[in-house]
DNA sequence: GCCGTTTTCGGCCCGACTGTTTTCAGTCG
């Protein structure tokens, strides 16, 4: 059973306990456990079966036992009992905006409402307002929320580039407004999460009204809802909510920290503060003993007050960053400027939009020292495969351009398909002519875990495969990862010296932050690539760096922070040669 | 239900908003 499935089961159990009236802290304990399970890079099923689930933060004896029950029987016994007690539609009602377990439960007890349809009817016929605590407005809100849900609105999460694009445009415009002081993106976009529900912007300004005016006149903004001195809430034409909050410069740091989150991170910071007799809020850090409140212009001041070094936004997820910040062991996160080359991109030879020359020029303009041209291979369908003869000609063209271009090492590579049996779709003699080989899966995803894992490991054992491209095959919000035993893949990567890619395409970001962190901790070497299909998408590399940073990676973990000769020396074909030449006779 | 440089028991972040009620519970981020 996958981590996501186990996490879903415990998140659902939390919902059910909440409906059942359990104390909030117990419910929270289940939610926290679900989050820890979801973000574990290791297989929680394997961990639990080995009796080691309690190693996960927030998982104690009880939940560890329940994980084993779930694995053994396919269901947590407590969840089974509660599902018999509460109809499935009740949980759906708790997810409606404005509804939680208390209000859903009240309608169930008073009116027997157990589904969204029944709720709609009760609102339409004004039966709802007979229940204490519900009135005219509640009925209107129910109907509006149900309509929004029917239209597929509500709950849509944008990929990071969409949210960042909106946020960066707004920030740039607001910084130009006379009297504006500081303007920053906050929220999940600042943490560089894979998806964002809305765009949060924090500002300080001498004239807040001018900022709100400027926001409402921006091209991206369709309408401004509520607005005032403290900020505004607006909607973009694409349907994203933008939240602008304005404070005095003296507490800019407090609001920025508060709105950057994550919720879990803030909760942990505040718990740590309470232990020191302090209370952290969006307005300042108050001191019980002194009876004073310290407003913080910068986030650094807040973290210093609670005894920690500054924590980069990408790490603020409640995954051990507080302990590291207390102990002074936070990683020096890899930066996009540290990448010296890109080793996965496409040209018109397969499905790219630009020529080798154009890609080389664009790589030079980015300041790269090297670029590998890795078009798709012989069996890549979609009418853009590269036959063995075409690959030979492509290698020649790469060599010619390499000779012409100053300051860039151009590598002749290929993104080779891993066939269902784990073999590659060019013969070894041709592969040996290439400087760089990415092996990826593009077909036959629906194999069982055992077969698919063996298939990928077989490819990794090929002496010429340098890198596994987009190793889990997931597409964010669209396609689940392949059924891989990821820890086996990491073991094989370490054993064979095969690099694992963080594919920076923002639809992929594959490896994800959890897998990348596990791989690095296990001693595997990672590499960040754009997988660009044109000159414009080389810049996508930033999203791969975002994932790497969220995975706690330093430049040491990322192979392409090295020069090409250094990287060349550490890959497995060089190591094999080295061990062959130093072997005693 | 989890957890411990206060604790193996007794805590567990903080504040705004909403709709309802008349002082606040529930929801949200």
Q: What is the CATH number of the domain that holds A465?
A: 3.20.20.140
A489: number of Cβ within 10 Å: 24
CA to C1' distance (Å), from A517 to B9 = 36
Residue–nucleotide distance: A98 CA to B21 C1' (Å):
18
For strands A241-247 and A198-205, give the pairing: parallel
Predicted pLDDT at A394: 96
pLDDT values of chain A reduced to their tens digit, one per residue, 585 residues: 999 999 999 999 999 999 999 999 999 999 999 999 999 989 999 999 999 999 999 999 999 999 999 999 999 999 999 999 999 999 999 999 999 999 999 999 999 999 999 999 999 999 999 999 999 999 999 999 999 888 776 667 899 999 999 999 999 999 999 989 999 999 999 999 999 999 999 999 888 889 999 999 999 999 888 777 788 999 999 889 999 999 999 999 999 999 999 999 999 999 999 999 999 999 999 998 888 999 999 999 999 999 999 999 999 999 999 999 999 999 999 999 999 999 999 999 999 999 999 999 999 999 999 999 999 998 876 667 899 999 999 999 999 999 999 999 999 999 999 999 999 999 999 999 999 999 999 988 889 999 999 999 999 999 999 999 999 999 999 999 999 999 999 999 999 999 999 999 999 999 999 999 999 999 999 999 999 999 999 999 999 999 999 999 999 999 999 999 999 999 998 888 777 766 554
- Of A150, A183, A208, the last residue of a domain is A150
CB-based burial of residue A176 (10 Å sphere; 0-12 exposed, 13-18 middle, 19+ buried)? exposed
Q: How far is the CA of A42 from the C1' of B2 (A)?
A: 21
In this structure, the answer to whether residues A459 and A540 fall within a common structural domain is yes
Q: Which pLDDT score, from 0 to 100, does residue A581 have? A: 66
**CATH number reported for the structural domain that contains residue A197 in this entry:** 3.30.460.10
> What was the pLDDT predicted at A446?
86
Domain that holds residue A286: 257-327
How many other CB atoms are there within 10 angstroms of residue A92's CB atom? 16
Q: What angle do CA A381, A162, A519 make, to 5 degrees?
A: 65
A246, A275, A295 - which closes a domain: A246
Nucleotide nearest to A97 (CA to C1'): B27
Quick one: A87 and A140 in the same domain? yes
Are A64 and A130 part of one and the same domain?
yes
pLDDT digits (tens, 9 = 90+) for A505-563: 999 999 999 999 999 999 999 999 999 999 999 999 999 999 999 999 999 999 999 99
Report residues 550-569 of A contacting strand B, contact meaning Cβ closer than 7 Å.
none
pLDDT of A150 reads 83
Cα A139 to Cα A145, A219, A572, distances in angstroms: 10, 35, 66
Whether A325 CB is under 7 Å from strand B? no
A60 and A85 belong to one structural domain: yes
Question: How far is it, in rounded angstroms, from Cα A156 to Cα A134?
Answer: 28
Chain-centre distance for alpha carbon A299: 23
- Strand nucleotide closest to residue A28 (CA to C1'): B1
Q: Which residue is nearest to nucleotide B24 (CA to C1')?
A: A133
Q: Classify residue A480 by its DSSP letter.
A: P
Give the C-alpha separation, A204 to A534, whole Å: 39
Mark whether A506 and A538 lie in a shared domain.
yes
Nucleotide nearest to A225 (CA to C1'): B17
Together in a domain, A237 and A282:
no
- Predicted confidence at residue A110, as pLDDT, reads 93
Measured from the CB, is A59 under 7 Å from any atom of strand B? yes
Q: Which residue has the tokens 């340098």?
A: A466
Is A373 contained in some domain?
yes
**Which tokens sit at A118?**
């029944």
pLDDT at A343: 98
The CATH number of whichever domain residue A89 belongs to comes to 1.10.150.110
| Nucleic strand B near CB of residue A24 (< 7 Å) | no
Same domain, A350 and A473: yes
Distance A493 CA to B27 C1' (A): 47
- Same domain assignment for residues A517 and A415: yes
CA-wise closest residue to A346 among A403, A415, A292, A402: A415
User: How many Å from the CA of A524 to C1' of B7?
Assistant: 41
Instruction: Give how many domains chain A has, as a whole number.
Output: 4
Nearest CA-CA partner of A533 in A332, A355, A266:
A355
Residues A290, A393 within the same domain: no
Q: Which protein residue's Cα is closest to nucleotide B6 at C1'?
A: A275
Is the same domain home to A54 and A118? yes
Which residues partner with A233 through β-bridges?
Answer: A243
Taking the stretch 273-292 of protein chain A, residues with Cβ within 7 Å of any atom in nucleic acid chain B are 273-275, 279-283, 286
For residue A521, say whether its CB is under 7 Å from any atom of strand B: no
CA A313 to CA A567: how far, in whole Å?
30
Same domain, A135 and A201: no
Closest nucleotide over all strands to A29 (CA to C1'):
B1
Phi, psi of A403 (to 5 degrees): -70, -30
How far, in Å, is the CA of A296 from the C1' of nucleotide B26? 31
Q: Which of A97, A118, A150 is the last residue of a domain?
A: A150
Classify residue A561: in a domain, yes or no: no
Positions 190-249 of A with beta carbon below 7 A from strand B are 200, 226, 230
Q: Which nucleotide is nearest to A187 (CA to C1')?
A: B29
A145 lies in the same domain as A64:
yes
Q: Is the CB of A399 under 7 A from strand B?
A: no
């Amino acid at each position: 059973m996958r981590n996501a499935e186990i996490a879903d089961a415990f998140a659902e159990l939390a919902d059910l306990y909440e409906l059942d009236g359990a104390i909030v802290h117990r419910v929270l304990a289940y939610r926290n456990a679900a989050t820890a399970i979801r973000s574990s890079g290791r297989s929680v099923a394997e961990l639990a079966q080995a009796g080691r689930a309690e190693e996960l933060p927030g998982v104690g004896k009880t939940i560890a036992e329940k994980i084993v029950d779930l694995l053994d029987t396919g269901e947590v016994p407590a969840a089974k009992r509660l599902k018999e007690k509460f109809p499935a539609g009740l949980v759906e009602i708790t997810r409606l905006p404005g509804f939680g377990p208390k209000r859903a439960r009240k309608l169930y007890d008073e009116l027997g409402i157990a589904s969204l349809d029944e709720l709609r009817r009760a609102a339409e016929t004004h039966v709802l307002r007979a229940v204490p605590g519900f009135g005219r407005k509640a009925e209107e809100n129910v109907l509006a929320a149900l309509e929004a849900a029917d239209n597929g609105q509500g709950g849509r999460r944008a990929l990071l580039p969409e949210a960042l694009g909106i946020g960066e445009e707004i920030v740039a415009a607001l910084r130009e407004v006379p009297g504006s002081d500081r303007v920053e993106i906050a929220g999940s976009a600042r943490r560089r999460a894979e998806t964002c529900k809305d765009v949060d912007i924090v500002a300080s300004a001498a004239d807040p009204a001018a900022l709100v005016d400027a926001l409402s006149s921006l091209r991206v903004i369709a309408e401004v809802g509520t607005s005032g001195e403290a900020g505004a809430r607006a909607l973009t034409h694409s349907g994203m909510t933008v939240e602008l909050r304005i404070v005095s410069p003296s507490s800019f740091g407090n609001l920025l920290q508060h709105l950057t989150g994550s919720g879990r991170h803030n909760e942990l910071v505040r718990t740590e503060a309470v232990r020191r007799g302090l209370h952290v809020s969006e307005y300042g850090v108050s001191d019980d003993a002194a009876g004073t409140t310290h407003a913080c212009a910068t986030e650094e001041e807040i973290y210093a007050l609670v005894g920690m070094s500054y924590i980069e936004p990408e790490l603020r997820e409640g995954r051990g960053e507080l302990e590291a910040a207390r102990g002074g062991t936070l990683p020096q996160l890899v930066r996009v400027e540290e990448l010296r080359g890109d080793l996965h991109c496409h040209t018109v030879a397969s499905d790219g939009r630009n020529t080798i020359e154009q890609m080389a020029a664009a790589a030079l303009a980015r300041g790269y020292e090297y670029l590998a041209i890795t078009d798709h291979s012989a069996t890549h369908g979609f009418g853009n495969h590269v036959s063995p003869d075409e690959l030979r000609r492509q290698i020649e063209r790469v060599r010619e351009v390499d000779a012409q271009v100053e300051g860039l090492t151009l590598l002749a590579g290929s993104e080779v398909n891993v066939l269902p049996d784990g073999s590659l779709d060019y013969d070894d003699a041709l592969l040996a002519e290439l400087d760089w080989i990415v092996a990826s899966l593009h077909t036959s995803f629906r194999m069982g875990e055992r077969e698919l894992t063996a298939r990928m490991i077989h490819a990794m054992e090929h002496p010429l495969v340098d890198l596994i491209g987009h190793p889990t095959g997931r597409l964010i919000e669209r396609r689940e990862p392949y059924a891989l035993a990821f820890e086996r893949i990491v073991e094989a990567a370490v054993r064979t010296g095969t690099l694992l890619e963080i594919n920076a395409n923002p639809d992929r970001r594959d490896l994800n932050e959890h897998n990348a962190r596990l791989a690095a901790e296990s001693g595997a070497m990672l590499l960040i690539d754009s997988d660009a299909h044109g000159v414009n998408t080389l810049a996508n590399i930033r999203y791969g760096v975002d994932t790497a940073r969220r995975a706690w990676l330093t430049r040491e973990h990322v192979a392409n922070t090295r020069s090409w000769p250094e990287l060349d020396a550490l890959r497995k074909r060089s190591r094999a040669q080295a061990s062959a030449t130093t072997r005693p006779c």
